[in-house]
Amino acid sequence: MQAVWLEENHISLREIPEPAKPHEALIRIRKAGICSTDLELVKGYYPYTGVLGHEFVGEIVDAPEPGWIGGRVVGEINATCGKCEACLNGRPTHCENRTVLGIANRDGVFAEYTTLPLANLHRVPESVPDEAAVFTEPLAAALEIQTQIQIKPTDRVLLIGAGRLGQLIAQTLVLTGCDLYVVAHHEHIRNILQARGIRVTAEDEIQPRKWDIVIEATGSPDGFNLAQRAIRPRGTLVMKSTYKGEMNINFSSIVVDEITIIGSRCGPFEPALRLLEKREVDPTVLISSAFKLDDAIQAFEYAAQPGVLKVLLNNDQ
């Protein structure tokens, strides 16, 4: 089968054997999405060699349980052992032996087929089109924030970063009724937010030390510094980004102001699918372009341009 292969910070299209793993479902990929993590992996964020990609919607063509065959599914990216201390104590996304789809020790979805355990898979409601279902994984990551902290209508919430993930965070946060503002730079990105009634702001308009909750979703030191200036004493700072390399942080002010810092990544799929089914969020407005799998190299080049949001790879038959 054809796949997008990463090796030594270089991506290429290559022919590799169709995957086959005992006790896992074989999934034909229908659509897959390029995210910031994929772009950072190419730059060397994490030493990974293999097939890239972890956001997908697909169709099961073979499975240990025949009732799954033919089903349209999305999949959680962490395949866990179920036996380690983390798994046994309810922290499966931190499994000590996990493999991570398209990120760590498990080939990803920028290919014609992939495999995952049935425990990782979720059926897609019939009313949810592929163009929306492919966003399930990042939408679930956006929802993880609300499983970690309670966001009340009275909370002043600042979201820094309105890229691929930030847009989904904004769409989920606005449903809470909180006093939400989003820092967004590109005009077309601001327009997407404003079309959904989400207020945007500029960095120089942000009041320092006034925000109850600040969510940092830029992955840049400048974004973190802005978040640290904005958060009020005893406020909560949610880190929704990974950072390449080292950062200099003034921890004294964090201690003095008693700031709570929360790291946040993978989230719940079923609530994400319900939001898509009820059309309470619309991730399809984020699609900048779509390419065939054959044109994946050009798709990556396009996705890396400033201001580009979601780029899809289509493998429709």
Contacts of 64 (CB under 8 A, 6+ apart): 23, 24, 25, 118
Kindly report which listed range (15-24, 150-159, 203-212, 248-257) carries the lowest average pLDDT score: 248-257
What is the C-alpha end-to-end distance of the chain, expressed in Å? 14
The residue written with tokens 């002043």 in the block is: 156
35 phi and psi angles, rounded to 5 deg: -115, 175
**Residue 198 scores a pLDDT above 60:** yes
**Residue 243 scores a pLDDT above 90:** no
**pLDDT (0 to 100) of residue 317:** 54
Give the C-alpha separation, 18 to 285, whole Å: 33
The residue written with tokens 């079309």 in the block is: 195
Tokens at residue 274, please? 């319900």
Contact between 203 and 216 under an 8 Å Cβ cutoff? The reply is no
Per residue in 149-195, pLDDT (tens digit) is 999 999 999 999 999 999 999 999 999 999 999 999 889 999 999 99
Per residue in 282-302, pLDDT (tens digit) is 999 999 999 999 999 999 999
**Residue 91 scores a pLDDT above 60:** yes
**pLDDT (0 to 100) of residue 65:** 95
Whether this prediction's pTM lies above 0.85 is answered by yes
- Domains of the chain by range and CATH? 2-123+282-314 (3.90.180.10), 140-263 (3.40.50.720)
What percent of the chain has pLDDT above 70? 99
The whole-angstrom distance between residue 153's C-alpha and the CA centroid of its chain comes to 25
